[in-house]
């Protein structure tokens, strides 16, 4: 006889909200709201695709954001190849051509079009998974990430991401409590 377990994922929490909660010593309360205190579970860090509103202020700030976002490296994959050597692949990072930059600068001079562009990009917010983790003590592990005490946090910050560009989603393991 098998029983079915229903898994419920938390809402997506913006990384900046989590870092603010850490700074204000209210992270435990937020994690409790997420159902993570003294529980085991699986979590994912996701990337927000759309620009912040501050990046929409002028055509120049939008274009700067776009060039930065498209050119950002997503990571490096490196592995040893037995008896041959080591292979490294650099993921992401593509520059806009000068012609496309000029077209986007002209496009972004229309604030209404710019708002529509952000709205269109927001459809893809938090769909790109950057990291999947599992922990028997979610609240402790998530705190470690936010304090920059994990390899993931060091790597993601070194790639130029800010916590405000990331989101967190959690699924608590109902069968495994501390």
Average pLDDT over residues 101-105: 85
Where is 106: in which H helix or E strand? helix 98-107
| Residues with Cβ within 8 Å of residue 54, at least 6 apart in sequence | 61
For the chain, domain boundaries:
1-49+125-178, 51-123
Enter the DSSP assignment of 83.
Answer: T
Count, in order, helices (H) and strands (E) of the chain.
Answer: 7, 6
Closest to 117 in 3D by CA, of 46, 56, 54, 47: 56
Angle of helix 138-146 relative to helix 151-158, nearest 10 degrees, comes to 30
| Residue 91 pLDDT exceeds 80 | no
> What pLDDT is recorded for position 178?
44
| Residue 177 pLDDT exceeds 60 | no
Tracing tokens 């304090």 back to the chain, one arrives at 147
For residue 102, how far is the Cα from the chain centroid?
Answer: 29
Residues paired with 86 in a beta bridge: 80
> What pLDDT is recorded for position 153?
92
Per CATH, domain 1-49+125-178 is 3.40.1440: yes
For residue 168, how far is the Cα from the chain centroid?
Answer: 7
Q: CA–CA separation, 138 vs 34, rounded Å?
A: 10
Q: CA–CA separation, 35 vs 53, rounded Å?
A: 30
Residues paired with 131 in a beta bridge: 45
How many CB atoms sit inside 10 A of residue 52's CB? 15
Q: Which two tokens stand for residue 19?
A: 């870092």
pLDDT tens digit string along 105-121?
Answer: 888 888 888 888 888 88
The pTM of the full predicted model, rounded to 2 decimals, is 0.76
* Strongest mean pLDDT among 3-7, 49-53, 91-95, 138-142: 138-142
**Max Cα–Cα distance, the chain, nearest Å:** 64
pLDDT tens digit string along 39-75?
Answer: 888 999 998 888 877 677 777 788 888 888 877 776 6
């Amino acid at each position: 006889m098998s029983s079915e377990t229903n898994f419920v994922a938390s809402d997506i929490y913006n990384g900046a909200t989590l870092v603010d909660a850490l700074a204000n010593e209210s992270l435990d309360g937020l994690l409790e709201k997420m159902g993570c205190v003294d529980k085991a579970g699986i979590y994912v860090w996701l990337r927000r695709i759309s620009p912040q509103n501050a990046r929409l202020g002028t055509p120049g700030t939008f274009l700067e954001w776009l060039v930065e976002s498209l050119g950002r490296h997503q990571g490096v994959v490196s592995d040893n190849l037995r008896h041959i050597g080591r292979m490294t692949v650099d993921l992401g990072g593509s520059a806009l051509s000068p012609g496309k930059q000029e077209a986007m600068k002209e496009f972004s001079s229309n604030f209404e079009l710019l708002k529509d562009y952000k709205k269109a990009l927001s459809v893809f917010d938090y769909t790109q998974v950057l990291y999947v983790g599992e922990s028997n003590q979610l609240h402790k592990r998530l705190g470690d990430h936010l304090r920059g005490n994990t390899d993931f946090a060091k790597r993601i910050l070194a790639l130029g991401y800010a916590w405000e560009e990331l989101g967190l989603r959690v699924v608590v393991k109902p069968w495994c409590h501390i």
